[in-house]
């Protein structure tokens, strides 16, 4: 029997990639629940089969709507969130509403109807590492979030853990590193720089660009989430990462040279307040316990494919570009 999956936030970047992945690799029937904020894009769900994917426009904070949808599905995969650190520094309120109250609303419905939940989270809940720290984040690293965004994601993880312990909720959590790939909003680092070059704007690097992110392709995130849903132990947390540590300056120079530009054709802009220095994931538990492996081991190849996707899908990103850059200009970034 086909599983009935309710996927929240699947008009966004990673959720939409997950739904495309599910349709290609399983027989699951999927309902997308998305509020279609500035970050949700109908075009990200284009081409999906109508007999397997239904889209509901709604808010995860709407308890009545959420209750009915959770009741009618087997598994809830929870991607919906306010996801951008820079936005959280200028207006934290929507982050509290969606990331905390929205997750609470889902948890209560999942508890009432005794369903299975997989909660999507981030490595940012662990704070940051020094550049020369030999350790990476593991499932045992203490929580130490820095920004309004990451603190609300940490709060949502703790709610899930409390519902598992107090009410026996059937749930798993995953904390993943920085994703790249198709359908990522142009506010984020990699798409912002690619589309700046495509529209003839100079790319923008925060500070000196020595901050390190641990890049993973969105399809590898999807395969890991599916593996956890199918074989993960209830109540457990799994870290997802693909050994992709790179500093921002190196990533930007690679984008520029891949797109035929001089490596130094970018501007330094003011740094993000409280900017986390380095993230690095140790995904041994996921690999050894569940036998998961990433398929995109070559970052340069994945990045080139991502650049090609933005070249070929201007109609997808162009409507968001001017407003996004106007917001950054106001912030001096």
| Interacting residue ranges for ligand DAU, rule: CB under 6 A | 83-85, 122-124, 177-178, 188-189, 192, 204-206, 209, 211, 213, 248, 272, 279
Whole-number Å distance between alpha carbons of 1 and 19? 18
Residue 123 annotated in active site: yes
Pairing of strands 116-122, 170-176: parallel
Number of Cβ within 10 Å of residue 274's Cβ equals 12
- Check: CB of residue 84 under 8 Å from CB of residue 90: no
Give the three-class secondary structure for 104: helix
Q: What is the distance between the terminal CA atoms of the chain, rounded to a whole angstrom?
A: 51
- Is residue 37 near ligand NAD by the rule CB under 6 A? yes
- Per partner kind, with CB cut-offs from 5 to 8 A, the member of ligand NAD, ligand DAU, none near residue 192 is ligand DAU
The answer to whether residue 127 forms part of the interface with ligand NAD (CB under 6 A) is: no
| Residue with Cβ nearer ligand NAD (202 or 243) | 243
80 counts as binding ligand NAD under rule CB under 6 A: yes
Q: Which option in ligand NAD, ligand DAU, none does residue 35 bind, with CB closer than 5 to 8 A by kind? A: ligand NAD
> Which entry of 149, 238, 279, 310 is annotated as an active-site residue?
149
Asked if residue 61 binds ligand NAD (CB under 6 A), the reply is: yes
Q: Does 14 bind ligand NAD (CB under 6 A)?
A: yes
Is 22 a residue that touches ligand NAD (CB under 6 A)?
no
Q: Which tokens sit at 311?
A: 């070249």
Distance of CA 202 to the CA centre of its chain: 26
| Residues 6+ away with beta carbon under 8 Å from 50 | none
Are 8 and 79 contacting, i.e. CB atoms less than 8 angstroms apart? yes
β partners of residue 216: 179
Smallest distance from ligand DAU to CB 207, Å? 7
Residues involved in catalysis: 123-124, 149
Q: Which residues bind ligand NAD (CB under 6 A)?
A: 8-9, 11-15, 34-37, 39-40, 59-61, 79-83, 98, 102, 120, 122, 153, 176, 178-179, 185
């Amino acid at each position: 029997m086909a599983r009935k999956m309710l996927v929240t936030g699947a008009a966004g970047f990673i959720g939409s990639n997950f739904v495309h992945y599910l349709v290609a690799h399983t027989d699951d029937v999927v309902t997308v629940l998305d509020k279609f904020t500035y970050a949700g894009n109908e075009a990200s769900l284009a081409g999906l089969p109508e007999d397997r994917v239904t889209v509901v426009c709604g808010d995860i904070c709407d308890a009545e709507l959420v209750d009915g949808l959770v009741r009618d599905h087997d598994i809830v995969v929870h991607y919906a969130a306010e996801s951008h650190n820079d936005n959280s520094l200028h207006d934290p309120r929507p982050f509290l509403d969606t990331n905390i109250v929205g997750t609470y609303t889902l948890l209560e419905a999942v508890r009432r109807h005794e369903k299975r939940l997989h909660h999507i989270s981030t490595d940012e809940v662990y704070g940051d590492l020094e550049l020369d720290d030999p350790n990476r984040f593991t499932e045992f690293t203490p929580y130490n979030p820095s920004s309004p965004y990451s603190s609300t994601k940490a709060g949502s993880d703790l709610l899930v853990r409390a519902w598992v312990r107090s009410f026996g909720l059937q749930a798993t959590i995953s904390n993943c590193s920085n994703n790249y790939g198709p359908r990522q909003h142009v506010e984020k680092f990699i798409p912002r720089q690619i589309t700046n070059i495509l529209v003839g704007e100079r790319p923008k690097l925060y500070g000196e660009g020595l901050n390190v992110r641990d890049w993973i392709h969105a399809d590898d995130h999807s395969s890991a989430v599916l593996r956890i849903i199918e074989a993960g132990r209830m109540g457990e947390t799994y870290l997802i990462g693909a050994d992709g540590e790179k500093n921002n300056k190196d990533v930007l120079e690679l984008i520029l040279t891949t797109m035929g530009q001089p490596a130094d054709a970018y501007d330094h802009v003011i740094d993000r307040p409280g900017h986390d220095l380095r993230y690095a994931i140790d995904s041994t538990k996921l690999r050894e316990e569940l036998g998961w492996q990433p398929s995109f081991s070559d970052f340069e190849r994945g990045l080139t494919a991502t650049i090609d996707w933005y070249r070929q899908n201007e109609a997808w990103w162009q409507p968001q570009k001017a407003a996004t850059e106007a917001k950054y200009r106001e912030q001096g970034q």
